[in-house]
Structure 1
Amino acid sequence: MKSDRAWLLGLMLPCAAVFLVFFVIPLTRLLLIGGSGELGWAAYSAAFTEPRYLRSMFSTVVLSALVTLTTLVISAIAGVFLARHEFVGRQVLTAMLTLPLAFPGVVIGFMVIMLGGRQGLIPLVTELLVGERLVFAYSMVGLFVGYIYFSIPRTILTVMAAAEKLDPQLVEAARSLGASHWRILRDVLIPGLQPALLAAGAICFATSMGAFGTAFTLATRIDVLPMIIYTEFTLQANIAMAAALSFVLGLLTWAALAFARTLTGNSVAAAA
């Protein structure tokens, strides 16, 4: 028994050391720095009461929620189709849909600018059609498009893995009983994919909340929380407030993952 306990302790020590060095110490340090500025510990309440911070937090949450919902709809349709149908070029199409996984946020930001920037494709087309350029890259719409672009590949892979494990006999049984396509979708496919959709949605939401590279590439004045933190840290030299906002942002993303974990058990990855 003692040898088993010693062996178990030996296995736990590396995990405990990693958790202490990479999580406990940095987060504790971040928490203390957040309360060390002119506002003191009131900096944390200022994140929810100061209009500028509250507005950026609201914008970030709404944007992340819209990105998550849109991504889940698109990825669920595409993922189920790819998982349940064999056709020529399926592997190529899957590879193309997951290609953005290799792109950093800065590259995606430049791609959005090429699409909807002042000299982008869509403004040039709209100028030819209606005589006015439709520029959206340097706004929340451009950020929405960029976030969708890098969120879909992760979600499609998760949905495809879950769809491949669904028993096709359940769908066939529902069809034999006269169920319509919408009834099959509502009563068979969505319940079967629900854990995967919740897990992928939570990770998509958390990633969108903290994404910085794409927002920084598009515009430094986009009102999302990562950009506010960057501004406080670099331009305002308000390190304490930047730390407080960073800690609050971390709590919000952790809460989203924790909520999804309670709905799906332990299928949500702890590290988004």
Structure 2
Amino acid sequence: MAAQQVGPRNATWLLGLPGAAAVIIFVIVPYINIAVMSFRVSSPSRAYDPGFTLDNYARTLGDPLYLGVLWDTVSLAVIVAVVSLVLGFPVAFFLARTRSRWQSLLYALVLSPLLVGVVIRSFGWIVLLANNGVINQLLGMVGIGPLGLMYNRLGVTIGLVHVFLPFMILPIMNAVQSIDPRFEEAARTLGASERRAFFRVVLPLSMPGIQSGAILVFVLAASAYVVPELLGGGRVMTTPTFVMQQLLGTFLWPFGAALALVLSATTLILIWLFTLLTKPVMRGLT
């Protein structure tokens, strides 16, 4: 009997199985576990007590302390995304349009921070931003300082922007590269100035990259733990650092799980609102 041939549709399913299995095992199953854990009864002596409860969510959403930490986390992530956009767009635009022979080297420089661990980069910023660090020593030579550049939101913001800036540059660069230069030439031919052509043609057509980069940096900044922990020095409290305190410090796993899920839900809601605000621009590109 001849072996049954695998049709194109079956082959497509087979190709997707490894990726689907990875998503189920490493994303869906852990999220389900965290969701179930968040409804357990917290116990200071073990992972959880028998039974289920809503007290963890009532405590998370009803206490001004935890809501304040959540607000600080979200606002910090928004600031990091905005600063990364302001700094990253010119770099991405230049890399996308330059014809210099150094383009490959510049592209490698943008990617090079990704080759170094976050912990190492954070310690590098500690060397620069500490009260007796390089920056304050240089400022001291001209009679300025020492300035409080670390163990506050400023230091954490600087560290997060440095860590996540490539994730803003790369999507915008890809979007700008996909823009046909003839669109700008047509706008200039019709009488638009270079500035007007940029704001009316290039910037709107770059919105897919801007949207992707902003969402990516916002999510990464909101969930960051290492940078706020090292550069914040325990003085800058974010939800991820607070969750780790509940998991490792007080051993309240269900409460920590509830905090994590509230942060995830808040992040998803804000992303949805952002996509709604940018939807008119994105619709105009189709």
TM-score, normalised relative to structure 2: 0.82
Q: Tell me if structure 1 keeps the 8 A contact 2:35–2:261.
A: yes
Give the superposition deviation at 1:169.
0.8
Aligned match of 1:270: none
Q: Number of matched residues?
A: 264
User: 1:110-259 alignment to 2 at 5 Å?
Assistant: 110-218=123-231, 219-258=233-272
Distance in 2, matches of 1:81 and 1:232, equals 45
Aligned match of 1:75: 88
Residue range with higher mean Cα deviation, 203-212 or 50-59? 50-59
Distance in 1, matches of 2:65 and 2:57, equals 14
Distance in 2, matches of 1:211 and 1:260, equals 20
Residue range with higher mean Cα deviation, 177-186 or 66-75? 177-186
2:25 to 21, 26, 29: 21
1:50 to 55, 58, 63: 63
Q: Which has the larger Rg?
A: 2
Aligned match of 2:120: 107
Aligned match of 1:35: 39
Q: Tell me if structure 2 keeps the 8 A contact 1:115–1:137.
A: no
Seen in structure 2, the aligned counterparts of structure 1 residues 51 and 130 have a Cα distance that, compared at 3 Å, is: farther
- Cα displacement string for residues 44-85 of structure 1 (whole angstroms, at most 9, x for unaligned residues): 232232122111111111111011111112211111112112
Give the superposition deviation at 1:26.
1.8
Distance in 1, matches of 2:115 and 2:273, equals 29
TM-score, normalised relative to structure 1: 0.86
Aligned partner letter, 1:236: T
Give the superposition deviation at 1:255.
3.6
What are the ranges of 5 or more consecutive residues in structure 2 without an aligned counterpart?
A: 1-5, 43-51
Give the superposition deviation at 1:157.
1.6
Distance in 1, matches of 2:183 and 2:12, equals 43
Q: Tell me if structure 1 keeps the 8 A contact 2:173–2:209.
A: no
Give the superposition deviation at 1:259.
5.0
Give the superposition deviation at 1:258.
4.7
Give the superposition deviation at 1:21.
2.8
- Cα displacement string for residues 235-260 of structure 1 (whole angstroms, at most 9, x for unaligned residues): 22221111111112222333445556
Distance in 1, matches of 2:91 and 2:272, equals 27
DSSP-derived class of the 2:32 partner: helix
Distance in 2, matches of 1:16 and 1:125, equals 53
Residue range with higher mean Cα deviation, 45-54 or 78-87? 45-54
Residue range with higher mean Cα deviation, 93-102 or 239-248? 93-102
Distance in 2, matches of 1:90 and 1:149, equals 21
DSSP-derived class of the 1:156 partner: helix
Give the superposition deviation at 1:17.
4.2
Aligned partner letter, 1:193: S
Distance in 1, matches of 2:14 and 2:174, equals 35
Distance in 2, matches of 1:76 and 1:53, equals 34
Aligned partner letter, 1:159: I
Seen in structure 2, the aligned counterparts of structure 1 residues 231 and 11 have a Cα distance that, compared at 3 Å, is: same
Q: Tell me if structure 2 keeps the 8 A contact 1:35–1:240.
A: yes
Seen in structure 2, the aligned counterparts of structure 1 residues 84 and 139 have a Cα distance that, compared at 3 Å, is: same
What are the ranges of 5 or more consecutive residues in structure 1 without an aligned counterpart?
A: 268-272
Distance in 1, matches of 2:247 and 2:235, equals 14
Aligned partner letter, 2:256: A
Q: Tell me if structure 2 keeps the 8 A contact 1:105–1:214.
A: yes
Give the superposition deviation at 1:7.
6.4
Distance in 2, matches of 1:75 and 1:196, equals 11
Distance in 2, matches of 1:184 and 1:46, equals 52
Aligned match of 1:96: 109
Give the superposition deviation at 1:14.
5.2
